[in-house]
């Protein structure tokens, strides 16, 4: 079975990782929490509706604004192909969620690798979801309980 989305290739068009010489870690070797903004663009190929491009930008506040150990600014471009078996009306959602997630996963690893070569502890970007927000279990409406008696097997017609 073919996967519905295939990453053809990706590359970085911008890589900025600045170390903050003024940073004072609270504990030696402590992994820093870092805030960042994420923005993605999803674009369909002009001639092939099954080919897509995703551009993902990840940026932290400047060193002056944040006092963080690092300032990061990355842009990743990925090219994807959607399987011919996948419904055309759901392609943009598939690429927007899964394609962006694939690029972000690559960026998480890259940020950890590049920041581990700096003077401070490596940065681990948090796990994120690019899918629609889910309702926490505590806020879901409980299912109505029904009194159940003995159950009978259901019959199904087949043709």
Inside any domain, residue 126: no
**How many structural domains is the chain composed of?**
1
Inside any domain, residue 26: no
157 has pLDDT over 60 = no
Inside any domain, residue 128: no
Inside any domain, residue 80: yes
Q: Where in the sequence is the domain holding 63, given as residue range(s)?
A: 5-21+35-121
Q: What is the CATH number of the domain that holds 53?
A: 3.10.420.10
21 has pLDDT over 70 = yes
pLDDT of residue 126: 87
Inside any domain, residue 146: no
Task: Give 120-144 pLDDT, tens digit per residue.
Answer: 888 888 888 888 766 555 444 444 4
Inside any domain, residue 48: yes
10 has pLDDT over 90 = yes
Inside any domain, residue 157: no
HEC string for the chain:
CCCCEEEEEEEEEEEEEEECCCCCCCCCCCCCCCCCEEEEEEEECCCCCCEEEEEEEEECCCHHHHCCCEEEEEEEEEEEEECCCCCHHHHHHHHHHHHHHHHHHHHHHHHHHHHCCCCCCCCCCCCCCCCCCCCCHHHCCCCCCCCCCCCCCCCCCCC
- pTM reported for the whole predicted model: 0.78
pLDDT of residue 147: 39
Inside any domain, residue 136: no
């Amino acid at each position: 079975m073919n996967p519905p989305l295939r990453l053809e290739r990706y590359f970085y068009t911008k890589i900025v990782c600045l170390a903050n010489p003024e940073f004072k870690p609270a504990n030696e070797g402590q992994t820093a929490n870092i805030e960042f903004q994420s923005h993605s663009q999803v674009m369909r190929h002009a001639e092939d509706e099954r080919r897509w491009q995703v551009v993902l930008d990840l940026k932290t506040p400047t060193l002056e604004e944040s006092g963080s150990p690092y300032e990061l600014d990355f842009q990743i471009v990925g090219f994807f192909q959607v399987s011919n078996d996948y419904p055309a009306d759901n392609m943009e959602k598939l690429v927007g969620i899964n394609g962006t997630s694939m690029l972000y996963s690559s960026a998480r690893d890259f940020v950890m690798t590049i920041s581990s070569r700096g003077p401070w502890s490596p940065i681990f970007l948090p796990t994120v979801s690019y899918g629609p927000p889910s309702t926490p279990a505590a806020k879901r409406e409980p299912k109505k309980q029904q009194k159940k008696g003995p159950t009978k097997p259901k019959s199904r017609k087949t043709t």
